[in-house]
Chain A
Amino acid sequence: MVRLIFFNMKQQFFTLGFLLLGLLKTFAQTETIVVGEANKSPSKQATLSGRVFDAANGEPIAGAVLQLKPSDNHAVTEADGRFKVTAAVGDYTLEISYLGYENSTANLQLRGNGERDFRLAESAIALEQVTVTETRNNDNVREVLAGVEQLSIERMQRQAKFLGETDVLRSLQSVSGVTSVGEGASGFNVRGGNTDENLILMDGNLVFNPVHALGFFSLFHPDMVQGVTLFKGGVPAKYGGRLSSVLDVKLREGDDQRLSAKGGVGIATSRLVLEGPIVKDKASFIVGARASYVDWMLKRTNNVDLRKSQAFFYDLTAKVDARLTKTTKFGFTAFNTHDDFQFADEVKFEYATSSANAYLKQLIGQKINLTAQVNAGEYQSDLYDVNGNDQSQFTNRIRFLRGNFGGVAQLTKAYNMEAGVEQTRYRVSPGKLAPLSDSNVKPDQLADQEGFETSFYLNNQVAFGEKIEVMLGGRYTIFQNRGPEQVYLYEPGKPKREQTIVDSLSFAEGEEIASYTGFEPRFSLRVSTGENSSIKAGYNRSYQYFSQVSNTASATPIDIWQLSNYHVKPQRADNFSVGYHHNFNENIDQTYLTVFYRKIENLIDYKDFAKLLLNRHIETELVTGKGKAYGVEFYLKKSLRQHQFELNYTYSRTLRQVVRSEVQAPINRGDWYPSNYDKPHSFNLNYFWQIKPKSSLSANFTYSTGRPTTAPVSSFSSGNVLTAPVYSERNQFRIPDYHRLDVAYSVGPWGKKERWRNSLTFSIYNLYFRKNAFSVFFRQNPFQSVTAYRVAVLGSMFPAVTYDFEF
């Protein structure tokens, strides 16, 4: 286990006093640090040693400079973050500078030899101010970007666990503005955006489907996650390609000192992490695995349907980090996930992701840090028809290759710059149908599609004194859709239908079919209104060239992804936000209020009864419109001794408009209508009680308005259909509201340190048996009245116990 901080007794005493006195302000605010004791250090020289870590992801920081002013004594941290600086006993101003971080100072009283570790808060854009933190800080106030949420693993662990596991996506839904369709839904929705509008990265790996088991678990191994950053408002220029948000999940590095293991055994899944040094102090590895074993139990039941069912998933994640030199670092992360689900003879589907990312970081002098990164991966989903004479397998697949080269430079104390270039190649196989056994199904396959997205980005961050800070940057993207492909041309001025095809164009391999360019300005402003309060404003524009096309009630693993092409233009979003942040009680208690507005152009929606699978003319099923989203987010964190409350409330609307044109019919007569994820009210309350040092209780309550649905308002007859429903205009009604209470009780860890350490978690999901509707559908049988039925994926309370261990 990585030991982050080594203190001697005096230092511990000091730290305790430090905490008690509430001196938990940032280093940037010129704190006083006392190191060593004079009577224990007869020498006139004293050495301060320790390590510097990134607070966000726990990675050691190489190249950070510690200066003891006014002397010339200084030290540069090594690749593992270690430093050692010797100077005459006395008082100094300790200044730590590191590329991408604002210079900060503290009063250092060097009385004798001592160790001190520092955790530096990671900036959202890597050009943030340095904030040396012991425990709590005012990063949230000082951060220049509005709408950035950082979830440490500790914060996630304080929430009630589902089936005993800490889960990134479930924790994320306790953040203002983040919702989900519910149990059984893939992904998450940020400020009313679609699930595909979130850029999801895990240690630089692009993730298309972040869930296991229909959304009950996320694919991020909970024992490997270091921290999570969600950019839901201001998005740094180095990120692009999605309209709503960026979710950056950082995995922790393996222990470079000793071999250790960690894991858990639950009733449905088990997990294990193994980590240790490859070369002590130089290189480490961490490998995690997780699997469900429901299958084994299913095969031993008497129920015919269950015996025919499958419910299996696994994931494997591995990470290697190596400090090649004092200024060079190499890292590699790879993962493979697989899900296999079948229920009786009804439905079966599989999906799998494989991805690998490698990076090389090079520090040049003390001012420039360069990073080169390569990421390759594949996502494949299969839907099986397992019944009757039409047994078949439908497959779609995305392969991608990404390269990124960029750097950050600290030009002056108050001015940082980041620039780079990124290219992603997408190769999409949108559909292949293959018969199974003696099936009557004819094999079919759509041609692959290819897209190249090349972006150049530049970010500048300037501080005007302590009060004002500005981030100004931009991203310029060139997107090319290339052959081989056959493009259909439609009769001008007429709706795109198969019947209006007048010609087709054939494009050879690599030939450009369509090209789009777009400039995406990014701007953020922070104005401090006090030591612990600030107003932030942000604007950013994003283009999305690769979107999920779905006409199911919720995103599913088999939804196809569509590149921008000859007919489908890229979607564009302009995001505006203004927020006020205020911390109280020495930054322990925090609150913010943010107002946001998003405008979307070229928004893609689908016609009624769209047929999307294996469609060679998918553009005939799509319509183009515009969208808007707006709302207010409120967050409050309050601690009362061992009790901690986190509360957030979001009011938001997300609306769409598709008007009549020569080539398309309107939706809802061209009026604005709610999107599928429009949930005006969303409320979360998390409660954590540290009962004793080794036992805690947590409870989470969540509430959100039911999402929109289209409901029958009348019935008619036609032919042998005696009663067919007449549905309302799209999304004019709502399914019942969603609410749920989860509780968990954890005890442990117990056991000797360095040996086995154990803990137990008892959790109850959905404590009061709420049957939350995943969707509502309507059935009208002949001679009967129309009836609305609620589909609750999880219709009851679900208790679980999980045993965790560490050695």
Chain B
Amino acid sequence: MKKIATLFALLLMSLLLVRCIDEVKLDIDSNRTWVNVDGLVTDSLQVQTIKIKRSAVIGVGNDNILTPVEGCTVKVLDDGGQSFDFTETEPGVYTHEMQGVPGRTYYMEAKLPDGKTILSRPSVLMKAPPLLPITAEVTQKTTIGTNGRAITTNQLSLGMNTEIGASERPYLRWRATGEYEFKEAYPMALNTKTCYIKNNLDFNNIKIFDPSELEGTSLKDEPFLNTAFDYRFADQYCFHLFQYAMSEDEYQYWEQMRDIVTIDGSLFDPPPGTVQGNLYDPNDPDELILGYFSVAGVAYSREFVNANSLGFFVEPRCSSLPFRPQYPDCRACETILFSSLEKPLYWP
């Protein structure tokens, strides 16, 4: 009886609820590209970067390869009359060491080799509230495998904590990168090495916060990041956390960016649109300039997490025991992407 019920139910649900999603070829013929500016100026004294490229044509080679726009004249100006000239350090990458001042208004001006001028709308640099220690929690996530059975894995969930204050509450955006310790091990090993591997955690993961959603002044345990709780946490894992204070205009930009990268074909998906940032060509206001020139205060925090501190045991990837699985990188950890043998100064 159970089998019959399952058969009928699967049949009906395949009809009524379960969507069938597969790849399809569309006849899209367009070679058009647009100027793409990706810039950030913060109140941290550091090398600030503005990248100017042309967008990639879809369906021709690698869609991710953007063409650098070389030979541009790029500068950032503030309302105090200061001008910061950026120099091209790599093709299409313009840098300048500077520190933005909270309360000041900044905008970018770029002159392209073809004579086109690109301006950003002026934006006030707001001070970012300080980051408080993150909340780390290990949870179980259940997914349905291809055989229809439940698969449970451990996940590390990070929650952001910050004190926003009662006045001048900026919109927030969070970024995170990671770094972990990787110790080589294999049977009969004599000289094992320890590598420090940079770990990109938030590709396409846009985390923003509208302060009007907050009652009070403290933001606690705001869900921020989920990542597999695996061998990376067997020893030390370092989270580099950034909290940016941004304008409402920029918040809306990231909200729209989040919309277009999370479309998954559900019945309730909004139709996609063009994300327009704060950049424009004064001589052709209808021309689309992609990207955003961000002016943001930043708060930085570094947090170390390991399985032991969370009361868990995580099996390391590498083992000196002969009956355990052996991986090539356990003998040559420097071959791992973004790996370094140099121990960071801040590493405990």
Contact = CB atoms under 8 A, between A and B. Distances in A.
Interface in A742-798: 771, 773-796, 798
B190 interface: no
Contact of B66 (A556, A716, A773, A774): A716
B321 interface: no
B266 interface: yes
Interface stretch (A147-155, A219-227, A726-734): A726-734
Interface residues of B, number: 84
Contacts of B166: none
Given A301-B5, A719-B38, A779-B263, A294 B16 contact: yes
B310 interface: no
Interface stretch (A366-374, A457-465, A706-714): A706-714
A341 interface: yes
Contacts of B261: 721, 724, 780
Nearest to B150: A304
A342 to B, nearest CB: 9
A297 B12 contact: yes
Interface in B15-46: 15-28, 30, 32-34, 36, 38, 40
Contact of B21 (A553, A722, A785, A789): A789
Contacts of B13: 294, 298, 306, 309, 311, 343
Contact of A785 (B11, B59, B142): B59
Contacts of B30: 713-714, 728
B167 interface: no
B90 interface: no
Interface stretch (B120-128, B268-276, B322-330): B268-276
B268 A556 contact: yes
Contacts of B257: 718-719, 721, 724
A301 B6 contact: yes
A607 to B, nearest CB: 8
A608 interface: yes
A297 B6 CA distance: 7
B15 A303 contact: no
A28 interface: no
Interface string B255-285: 1110111011111111111110100000000
A304 B144 contact: yes
A300 interface: yes
B49 to A, nearest CB: 11
A780 B262 CA distance: 10
Given A609-B259, A717-B36, A723-B64, A789 B202 contact: no
Nearest to B288: A726
Nearest to B277: A718
A666 to B, nearest CB: 8
A10 B204 CA distance: 82
Contact of A305 (B16, B144, B290): B144
Contacts of B150: 304
B1 interface: yes
A94 interface: no
Interface string A319-361: 0000000000000000000000101000100000000000000
Contacts of B205: 720
A626 to B, nearest CB: 20
B208 to A, nearest CB: 11
Contact of A710 (B9, B271, B275): B271
Given A306-B9, A788-B23, A718 B38 contact: yes
A771 B58 contact: no
B62 interface: yes
A632 to B, nearest CB: 25
A791 B22 CA distance: 7
B268 A552 contact: yes
B31 to A, nearest CB: 9
A714 B58 contact: yes
B10 interface: yes
Contacts of B266: 347
Nearest to B24: A790
Contact of A773 (B1, B24, B144, B206): B24
Nearest to A216: B16
B203 interface: yes
A309 B64 contact: no
Contacts of B58: 712-715, 725, 785-786
Query: Which of the listed residues A669, A724, A780, A794 has the most CB atoms from chain B within 10 Å of its own CB?
Result: A724
A268 to B, nearest CB: 6
B223 interface: yes
A80 to B, nearest CB: 43
Interface in A223-255: none
Interface in B43-66: 51, 53, 55-59, 62-64, 66
A715 B63 contact: yes
Contacts of A213: 16
Nearest to A300: B5
A254 B290 CA distance: 65
Given A302-B2, A724-B260, A733-B27, A791 B204 contact: no
B265 A730 contact: no
Nearest to B248: A499
Given A300-B5, A720-B205, A214 B22 contact: no
B269 A720 contact: no
Contacts of A727: 260, 272-274
A298 B2 CA distance: 10
Nearest to A559: B268
Please name the 4 residue pairs, one residue from A and one from B, whose CB atoms are nearest each other, closest first.
A608-B273, A795-B20, A790-B24, A300-B5
6 contacts: A294-B13, A297-B8, A717-B36, A718-B36, A780-B63, A785-B58
Given A551-B271, A794-B15, A794-B20, 12 more contacts: A267-B8, A267-B12, A294-B16, A304-B150, A552-B269, A723-B56, A736-B26, A778-B272, A782-B64, A785-B59, A788-B24, A789-B265
